[in-house]
């Protein structure tokens, strides 16, 4: 460890060395003078014999240096000096890179949080959800769940949960809250410890409605109970039933879905109290949202699947009426397995690719800036070579500049992206759902940003290498830098040109994809939903939240419709079990009338099912194709009837006109007569394939969970107030969520909105990069050729010819790049099609928009250089030099 004292001794060592060398030369001079030379001649010869003193000193010093670190420090100091000398260049470069690295860090942060990072529970690596059948359905019935839980040999503990909205009355206003109904073993299976009080467990349950207990989430406790530790043991009303608060979950445990934070957990055995329906004993009712658990140590996924499948075939054999296609697969629970996983994954992968393209474009941009800078400095480089510097040394200096810029750009970008990710994490995109996008950045994000910054620094720093290696000091000094560069660029395609084309092509890809996404969103907002959401208010109600049950449910629902009908300006008001595109859909197997074996494998279709009041179609603006509506006379005792959609009619009866008056069978064997056929629509997702749907009378398929659909010509705000007071006169304990139908579509439009915003931002960044890229190139070529342009003007060139000479090249490159980018963009946007509804690049409007956008970008970017080229005064130019 000699180097520590060395560092302090070093200055003296170096001084000694300089002195020693000086004395050496002096001694030589004196000797030569003794041999009869003049002092001048002697000094000259001594120096020639000695060689380059600076280089020698440097090499002697190197002996003492910790070589890499110290010379890097020297390089950094030099680079900082150089960069300070051209602040405009430095700022532009740092900002460009900050944007690109920032975009990558944000996208990677989201990707990391949603896909790479497991759920925040112990041993998340072995946590899996069970999916059933080819459609990868996660819904399971409670009896099936019990069989799976008790008969499998692969899971530590198999647990389950259902997402439910409830009215929660904590003594103040009853308000809507979202929770998990969970199996008794949930907390034990997830291996979390309570923050306060205790969790309920299997021992607390003794059959249906035996465990009226509640565990609050930390956030809900914090916001609704102001961190009151005395909350344990308090009784609150949940849908008008008393529940005792047992404890509070730890702050970092937000359930087992990544983006859906529950306010509370309640035992699933309380389902009848909470939801007003008892499905604990009905094997055909697949109400459980997700079954999940940790694999036992040493059990592979394949073994677990085989094990589950053997349970599945047992279920098929034992319960042929209810269970079919009981084959299982495993998936990660964080994004609800295959419900969202593949979509999110595909989208994030696509975004990562696009962000990578942004970075590449930025590197191309900076690469050409650096290469221009190196060309401008060729005189300096030549001088340094002549003075004894090595090419390697000069390259290292340039590379140091590049890395310095990339690191500071990376740092700025990272800071920005951390701010954005933090904002995203507290974002609450859809008010009526407890949705979150928890994307807090972690060390991996920082590391990726750093690596990207370094890699891009080396990438664009490497661009001018060839230029430096080719520099011949003698030639440059002889000809002047201008001569060489002009000679090179005028004749052939340079590397810089290629870079610019690549960059513009990338930017055109981004612009194309963002325009395609925008257009897709625009279309999806204006496409046919099978209903007309304009001028309609929705009110979500769950009358069981106020304790109604049985026959009381339809009665109070009818009173609501009547009450709302009396509000001035209301054209019609109706009920539907859940508004289409509202975030959920019940489906049911249906059978042709001739089918006698009603096992799932014989089903004619898996149809969406809605319960509605007769007024619904008018309120929703859904058009009848043929037949008639049913009325309130279709009661429980009346023969079952249905209105079906056009696809249902064609699928079951062959054609729309054929369907009227014909019968089909529901899962439970009921024969249902079709009385009317309505237009097809969108029911679950905007991007879904057309699906068969039946609308059943509310009285024949009662449900407490309903949405009021109110069509009026009133101002939404006023109407909402009146609706609230009207409904309050009916029952003041009933919680409501009132919103316009347009807002209600938020959840359906959410994915395409997010995609559009994200692509829009990337597209804008791409556009900016292409502007700076073209601007840089155009400005550079104009400034290089000012003298030539001056001569042209002096010789009588017209504006057009001057512009052609000055900018023709830039414009040609722009055109080539744009065309390439447009083609690539069309290919790339196929990826978008499954997120952005109706995203098609083969839309003439989009194509035209891309061309116009790129032309505009070109115009903006070349405007200033063009002005400069035109304002060249030949006299002034010729007078210089």
Partner 1 sequence: MTDSPSRDLFPGALEMMILESLRRQPAHGYALVQHIQQRSKHLLQVEEGSLYPALQRLLKARLVKAEWGLSATNRRVRTYQITKAGLRHLEQQISSFERMFEGIALVLSPGRSPAS
Question: Please, what is the minimum distance in Å from the beta carbon of residue 386 to partner 1?
Answer: 18
Q: CB-wise, 52 or 86, nearer to partner 1? A: 52
Question: Please, what is the minimum distance in Å from the beta carbon of residue 384 to partner 1?
Answer: 19
Q: CB-wise, 8 or 443, nearer to partner 1? A: 8
Name 167's bridge partners: 176
* Cα 349 to Cα 104, 352, 357, 499, 511, distances in angstroms: 12, 5, 12, 25, 18
Binding site for partner 1 (CB under 8 A): 2, 6, 13, 16-17, 19-21, 23-24, 27-28, 49-52, 55-56, 59-64
Enter the DSSP assignment of 22.
H
Question: Please, what is the minimum distance in Å from the beta carbon of residue 79 to partner 1?
Answer: 24
Question: Please, what is the minimum distance in Å from the beta carbon of residue 62 to partner 1?
Answer: 8
Q: CB-wise, 64 or 446, nearer to partner 1? A: 64
Q: Which of 573, 576, 564, 592 is nearest to 530 (CA)?
A: 576
Alpha-carbon distance 878 to 881, whole Å? 7
Question: Please, what is the minimum distance in Å from the beta carbon of residue 387 to partner 1?
Answer: 16
Alpha-carbon distance 580 to 632, whole Å? 22
Q: What is the dihedral of CA 385, 390, 396, 402, to 10 degrees?
A: 20
What would the DSSP string read from start to end of 74-97?
Answer: HHHHHHHHHHHH-HHHHHHHHHHH
Question: Please, what is the minimum distance in Å from the beta carbon of residue 399 to partner 1?
Answer: 20
> HEC profile for 161-176?
EEEEEEEEECCCCEEE
> Side-chain half-sphere of 9: how many Cα atoms within 13 Å?
11
Question: Please, what is the minimum distance in Å from the beta carbon of residue 5 to partner 1?
Answer: 12
Q: CB-wise, 4 or 63, nearer to partner 1? A: 63
Q: CB-wise, 52 or 655, nearer to partner 1? A: 52
Alpha-carbon distance 323 to 601, whole Å? 9
Question: Please, what is the minimum distance in Å from the beta carbon of residue 385 to partner 1?
Answer: 18
How many secondary structure helices (H) and strands (E) does the chain include?
A: 29, 21
Burial of 568 (0-12, 13-18, 19+ CB in 10 A): exposed
Enter the DSSP assignment of 140.
B
Question: Please, what is the minimum distance in Å from the beta carbon of residue 49 to partner 1?
Answer: 8
Q: CB-wise, 50 or 458, nearer to partner 1? A: 50
Alpha-carbon distance 105 to 364, whole Å? 19
Q: CB-wise, 49 or 498, nearer to partner 1? A: 49
* Cα 472 to Cα 51, 378, 391, 475, 487, distances in angstroms: 21, 9, 11, 5, 15
Q: CB-wise, 58 or 380, nearer to partner 1? A: 58
Q: CB-wise, 11 or 491, nearer to partner 1? A: 11
Burial of 49 (0-12, 13-18, 19+ CB in 10 A): exposed
Q: CB-wise, 46 or 521, nearer to partner 1? A: 46
Question: Please, what is the minimum distance in Å from the beta carbon of residue 19 to partner 1?
Answer: 8
Alpha-carbon distance 836 to 759, whole Å? 11
* 266, 199 Cβ separation under 8 angstroms: no
* 339, 748 Cβ separation under 8 angstroms: no
Question: Please, what is the minimum distance in Å from the beta carbon of residue 394 to partner 1?
Answer: 18
Alpha-carbon distance 683 to 670, whole Å? 24
Question: Please, what is the minimum distance in Å from the beta carbon of residue 785 to partner 1?
Answer: 44
Alpha-carbon distance 124 to 118, whole Å? 6
What angle is formed at CA 109 by the lines to CA 368 and CA 399, rounded to 5 degrees? 30
Q: CB-wise, 56 or 437, nearer to partner 1? A: 56
Q: CB-wise, 62 or 227, nearer to partner 1? A: 62
Structure tokens at 671: 């024969």
């Amino acid at each position: 460890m000699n180097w520590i004292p060395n560092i302090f001794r070093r200055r003296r060592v170096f001084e000694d060395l300089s002195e020693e060398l000086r004395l050496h030369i002096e001694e030589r001079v004196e000797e030569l003078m003794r041999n009869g030379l003049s002092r001048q001649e002697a000094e000259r010869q001594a120096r020639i014999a000695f060689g380059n003193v600076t280089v020698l000193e440097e090499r002697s010093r190197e002996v003492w240096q910790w070589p890499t670190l110290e010379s890097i420090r020297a390089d950094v100091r030099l680079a900082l000096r150089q960069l300070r000398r051209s602040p405009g260049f430095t700022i532009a470069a740092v900002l460009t890179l900050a944007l690109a690295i920032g975009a990558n860090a944000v996208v990677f942060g989201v990707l990391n949080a949603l896909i790479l990072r497991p759920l925040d529970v112990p041993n998340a690596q072995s946590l899996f959800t069970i999916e059933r059948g080819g459609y990868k359905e996660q819904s399971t019935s409670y009896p099936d769940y019990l069989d799976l839980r008790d008969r499998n040999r692969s899971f530590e503990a198999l647990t389950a949960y259902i997402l439910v909205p409830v009215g929660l009355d904590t003594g103040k206003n009853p308000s809507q809250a979202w929770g998990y109904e969970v199996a008794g073993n949930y907390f034990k299976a997830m291996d979390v410890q309570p923050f306060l009080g205790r969790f309920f467990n299997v021992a607390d349950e003794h059959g249906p409605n035996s465990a009226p207990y509640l565990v609050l989430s930390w956030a809900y406790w914090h916001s609704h109970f102001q961190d009151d530790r005395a909350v344990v043991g308090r009784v609150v009303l949940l849908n008008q039933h008393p529940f005792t608060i047992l404890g509070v979950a730890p702050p970092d445990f937000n359930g087992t879905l990544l983006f859906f934070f529950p306010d509370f957990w309640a035992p699933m055995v309380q389902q009848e109290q909470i939801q007003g329906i008892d499905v604990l004993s009905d094997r055909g009712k697949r109400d459980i949202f997700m079954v999940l658990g940790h694999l036992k140590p040493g059990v592979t996924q394949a073994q677990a699947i085989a094990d589950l499948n053997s349970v599945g075939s047992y279920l098929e054999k034992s319960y042929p009426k209810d269970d079919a296609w009981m084959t299982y697969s495993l998936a990660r629970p964080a994004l609800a397995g295959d419900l969202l996983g593949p979509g999110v994954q595909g989208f994030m992968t696509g975004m990562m690719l696009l962000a990578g393209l942004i970075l590449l474009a930025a590197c191309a941009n900076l690469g050409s800036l650096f290469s221009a800078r190196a060309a401008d400095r060729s005189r300096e480089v030549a001088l340094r070579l002549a003075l004894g510097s090595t090419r390697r040394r000069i390259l290292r200096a340039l590379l140091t500049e590049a890395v310095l810029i990339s690191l500071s750009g990376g740092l700025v970008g990272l800071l920005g992206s951390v701010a954005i990710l933090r904002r995203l994490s507290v974002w609450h995109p859809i008010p009526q759902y407890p949705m979150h996008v928890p994307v807090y950045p972690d060390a991996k994000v920082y590391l990726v940003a750093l690596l990207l910054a370094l890699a891009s620094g080396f990438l664009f720093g490497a661009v001018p290498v060839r230029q430096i290696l080719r520099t011949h000091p003698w030639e440059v000094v002889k000809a002047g830098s201008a001569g060489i560069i002009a000679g090179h660029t005028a004749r052939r395609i340079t590397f810089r040109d290629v870079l610019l084309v690549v960059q513009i092509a990338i930017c055109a890809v981004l612009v194309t994809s963002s325009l395609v996404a925008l257009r897709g969103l625009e279309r999806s907002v204006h496409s046919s939903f099978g209903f007309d959401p304009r001028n309609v208010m929705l009110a979500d109600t769950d009358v069981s939240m106020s304790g109604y049950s049985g026959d009381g449910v339809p009665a109070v629902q009818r009173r609501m419709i009547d009450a709302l009908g009396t509000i001035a300006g209301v054209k019609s008001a109706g009920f539907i079990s859940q508004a289409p595109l509202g975030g959920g859909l019940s489906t049911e197997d249906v059978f042709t009338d001739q089918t006698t074996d009603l096992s799932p494998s014989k089903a004619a279709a898996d149809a969406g099912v809605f319960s509605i009041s007769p007024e619904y179609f008018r309120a929703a603006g859904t058009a009848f194709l043929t037949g008639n509506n049913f009325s309130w006379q279709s009661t429980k005792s009346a023969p079952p009837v249905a209105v079906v959609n056009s696809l249902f009619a064609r699928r079951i009866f062959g054609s729309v006109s054929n369907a009227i008056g014909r019968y089909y069978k529901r899962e439970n064997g009921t024969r249902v007569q079709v009385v009317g056929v309505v237009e097809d629509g969108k029911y679950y997702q905007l991007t879904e394939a057309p699906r068969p749907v039946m609308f059943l009378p509310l009285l024949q398929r009662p449900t407490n969970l309903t949405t009021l659909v109110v069509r009026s010509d009133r101002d939404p705000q006023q109407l909402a107030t009146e609706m609230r007071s009207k409904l309050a006169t009916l029952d003041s304990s009933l919680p409501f969520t009132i919103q316009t139908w347009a807002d209600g579509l938020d959840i359906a439009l959410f994915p395409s909105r997010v995609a559009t915003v994200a692509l829009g931002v990337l597209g804008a960044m791409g556009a900016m990069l292409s502007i700076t890229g073209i601007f840089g190139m155009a400005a550079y070529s104009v400034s290089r050729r000012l003298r030539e342009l001056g001569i042209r003007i002096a010789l009588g060139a017209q504006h057009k010819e001057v512009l052609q000479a000055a900018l023709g090249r830039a414009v040609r490159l722009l055109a080539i790049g744009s065309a390439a980018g447009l083609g690539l963009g069309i290919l790339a946007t196929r990826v978008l099609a499954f997120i952005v509804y109706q995203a098609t690049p083969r839309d003439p409007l989009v194509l035209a928009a891309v061309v116009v956008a790129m032309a505009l970008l070109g115009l903006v970017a070349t405007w200033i250089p063009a002005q400069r080229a035109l304002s060249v005064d030949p006299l002034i130019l010729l007078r210089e030099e």
